[in-house]
Amino acid sequence: MSRAALALAPLLLAVSAPADAAGSAVPAVPPPAASAPTDALPFDPRSTGTAPCGRGVPAPGHAMPELRPAAGGATLAVRQDGMRLCYVADGVADAPVLRARPGGELVLTLRNEITDPSRIEAAMAPGKLRIANDPVPESPGFYEVQPGMHHAATGATNLHVHGFAVPPVAPQDDVLTVCTDPASGPAGCGRREFTYRWRIPATMPGGLYWYHPHMHGEVQAQMLMGLAGAIVVEGPEHDARARAGIVERVLVVRQTQDQDAGRTPAQSMTAAARAPASAPGAPAVPGNAVDTAHELLCTASSGIDQISLNGTPVPLGDAPDESLARFEIDAGTRQYWQLLNAATDAFLSLSLQDEQGRALPLQVVARDGSPLTDDAGHRLQPAPTIEALPVPPGGRLEFWVAAPPPGVKATLVTHAIDTGCAGDRLPERRLAVVVARGDAPARVTPAPAPAPAPAHAAGVHDAFTGLLARQVDRRRVIALAEYPRPGADDQTDFYIAERRPGAVLRPYMMGDAPAITVRAGTTEEWVIENWTNELHTFHIHQLHFRVLEVDGRREAAPPLLDVVEVPYATATGLHSKEGPVRPGRVRIRMTFPAALAGDIPFHCHLVDHEDNGMMAVLRIEKPGAPPRHAEALPMAAMHHGQ
């Protein structure tokens, strides 16, 4: 469930199915694309004065342009056309796939040419707050919950390179202090453009990464309006595939709508206030529990949000094959697909199916840019699987797709997903048709040949190898919570906080001090607890972590990820107004390399949740830095501006 957004990217929305608050059936076939005048135009991504973001919608199966910046760098402009935002490179408004090498420097100048920040603000309406939310009533024994406040859109923008193990320090991946001002509007950043210089470690694996804006409070609006793109780091395995003539495809799923705005129904508002807090004069009881009585309860989820694949709307229901991407694979061969879920809050669960709905095998090679490896960095070569493959928002999946048998029409689908009773509706959707081209050659090429064996552990993350063998220096419990506020349309606040006695839940505000400080070189295990009735995710910048356990089930081969689903809570009874609930849990382990010292954001990658508070900052102390005492202070002492 999101708090406050209804962004309309008109070109893509034109073919989206209408949805109503009651969640009635959505037409099986979307209205014709001609319902918006611009859609009738042939696709022309050239950015011009009258069409800053180009015209038309690309045909299904479109491939985005590639941008391989020279040593001197390239320029990426952010332009605006009404409710659309776009990345423009070389005059083309079609977010390029950036290509770079391990050990290289990727230099990119971001230039902000946003002309009308009020349209970004409009994309965050109508649930926006003009006054702070009502507080959650204080109850003895529970963490204090502070209300959130609307962040007004500024039109400032910046870039986050998701998955890159580069320092969170300008001119690298610093999203907390680097931004660029719009052409008109507030000038809080003091600059219109900024040159990023990301020094990609030689040991960072080749694979799929991505870029998107990270202006806290308006991330969702800017992404829904069009800002997200893929980055491929081309390592030795890419080179080997290229030499072998293997086709690689980059698939980017984006989202262009979030219809939850203003739709938190009255009945999902929480129960009446608890018993009053301690009598005046009584000693304060330090809270050490998450208040579940006031959590967002089950909601009548709103419409189904439009998603796109490589810029083309993904239809709902039994749409004709022509409206889907069609990918051909030479009979008897296979292709290497790199899929990014850049949706703002839509989870994916992928399968390749034949016409009878039987799953065809896919062979996973990498997740979140990390090749599947054991703790020592040795490659794992799992057999092709027919299991559905989850990709949460922010996640990436790289996999081999073998040509279906000749004559078989296969479909890449994302299955319906249960996101919890307060989560969004995610029906099954067909993403692409996949068929064999030609007859199988007389001598069939060896089917899934193992990935070329690196000479040594090349391309494997040195920084995160041996993580499981390390001693754990500290364990923490991190809670996710969300509270609606009675009396208004939809004013849910979102929280992520370390559980400790007397902790205060407070939505993240720009400039907040780090919530957690660690020494470089240490290793920690965190249990992330989801105390809500909807699926969330946990993402941390700069780092990859191993997922050890999900809801008490140990992972046989703990994956190395940078974003993980955190299962929703289960009620011990029905979803009663009094709770209690048993939180969903994941246990992760991560280490904090000195090379990545600085302030590192962690947050839910349902970016509306991040915008509305479910974010915090981890500081990795530089080696030899004087010790700080932030952690010894009560959290309230670190708050400011309240």
Q: Which residues would be at the binding site for Cu ion (CB under 5 A)?
A: 536, 604, 606, 609
| Contact status, residue 225 vs residue 125, Cβ threshold 8 Å | no
The two tokens of residue 209 are: 């990464």
Counting every residue, how long is the chain? 642
Rounded least distance, CB 602 to Cu ion, Å:
12
CA distances (Å), 49 to each of 34, 81, 88, 113, 576, in order? 24, 10, 13, 12, 56
Residue 276: count of CB within 10 angstroms of its CB: 10
Q: Please, which residue, 220 or 353, has the CB nearer to Cu ion? A: 220
Q: Please, which residue, 14 or 124, has the CB nearer to Cu ion? A: 124
Q: Please, which residue, 426 or 606, has the CB nearer to Cu ion? A: 606
Rounded least distance, CB 295 to Cu ion, Å:
13
Q: Please, which residue, 430 or 609, has the CB nearer to Cu ion? A: 609
Rounded least distance, CB 609 to Cu ion, Å:
3
Rounded least distance, CB 473 to Cu ion, Å:
28
Q: How far is CA 414 from the centre of its chain?
A: 17
Rounded least distance, CB 22 to Cu ion, Å:
24
The two tokens of residue 188 are: 């809080």
Q: Please, which residue, 396 or 609, has the CB nearer to Cu ion? A: 609
Rounded least distance, CB 210 to Cu ion, Å:
19
State how far the Cα of 143 lies from the Cα of 289, in Å rounded to an integer: 6
- Sign of the CA dihedral with 451 first, then 452, 455, and 460 last: negative
Q: Rounded to 5 degrees, what are φ and ψ at 412?
A: -85, 120
Q: Please, which residue, 431 or 604, has the CB nearer to Cu ion? A: 604
The two tokens of residue 138 are: 């204080």
Q: Please, which residue, 560 or 607, has the CB nearer to Cu ion? A: 607
- Sign of the CA dihedral with 83 first, then 89, 95, and 98 last: negative
Q: Please, which residue, 150 or 609, has the CB nearer to Cu ion? A: 609
Rounded least distance, CB 581 to Cu ion, Å:
16
Q: Please, which residue, 108 or 606, has the CB nearer to Cu ion? A: 606
State how far the Cα of 612 lies from the Cα of 154, in Å rounded to an integer: 15
Rounded least distance, CB 537 to Cu ion, Å:
6
Q: Please, which residue, 1 or 403, has the CB nearer to Cu ion? A: 1
| Contact status, residue 141 vs residue 287, Cβ threshold 8 Å | yes
State how far the Cα of 216 lies from the Cα of 607, in Å rounded to an integer: 9
The two tokens of residue 210 are: 């991505």
DSSP 631: G
Rounded least distance, CB 77 to Cu ion, Å:
31
CA distances (Å), 218 to each of 128, 132, 176, 222, 227, in order? 12, 18, 14, 6, 11
Q: What is the dihedral of CA 213, 216, 222, 223, to 10 degrees?
A: 60
The residue written with tokens 């079609």 in the block is 94
Q: Please, which residue, 74 or 477, has the CB nearer to Cu ion? A: 477
Rounded least distance, CB 301 to Cu ion, Å:
15
| Contact status, residue 608 vs residue 258, Cβ threshold 8 Å | yes
| Contact status, residue 115 vs residue 81, Cβ threshold 8 Å | no
CA distances (Å), 274 to each of 1, 482, 578, 580, in order? 25, 17, 10, 14
Rounded least distance, CB 536 to Cu ion, Å:
3
Q: Please, which residue, 313 or 393, has the CB nearer to Cu ion? A: 393
Q: Please, which residue, 136 or 604, has the CB nearer to Cu ion? A: 604
Q: Please, which residue, 604 or 617, has the CB nearer to Cu ion? A: 604
Q: How far is CA 532 from the centre of its chain?
A: 19
Rounded least distance, CB 516 to Cu ion, Å:
19
Rounded least distance, CB 540 to Cu ion, Å:
14
The two tokens of residue 234 are: 């081309």
Rounded least distance, CB 585 to Cu ion, Å:
15
Rounded least distance, CB 584 to Cu ion, Å:
12
Residue burial 509-528, b: 16+ Cβ < 10 Å; e: rest? beebbbbbbbbbebbbbbbb
Q: Please, which residue, 97 or 342, has the CB nearer to Cu ion? A: 342
Can you spell out the DSSP letters for 153-197?
P---B--EEET----SSTTSS-TTT--B--SSS---SS-SEEEEE
Q: Please, which residue, 39 or 345, has the CB nearer to Cu ion? A: 345
Q: Choose among 40, 60, 63, 38: nearest CA to 51.
A: 38
Contacting residues for 77 by C-beta, under 8 A, at least 6 apart: 47, 87, 88, 89, 110, 111, 112, 113
State how far the Cα of 225 lies from the Cα of 257, in Å rounded to an integer: 9
State how far the Cα of 536 lies from the Cα of 566, in Å rounded to an integer: 5
Rounded least distance, CB 606 to Cu ion, Å:
4
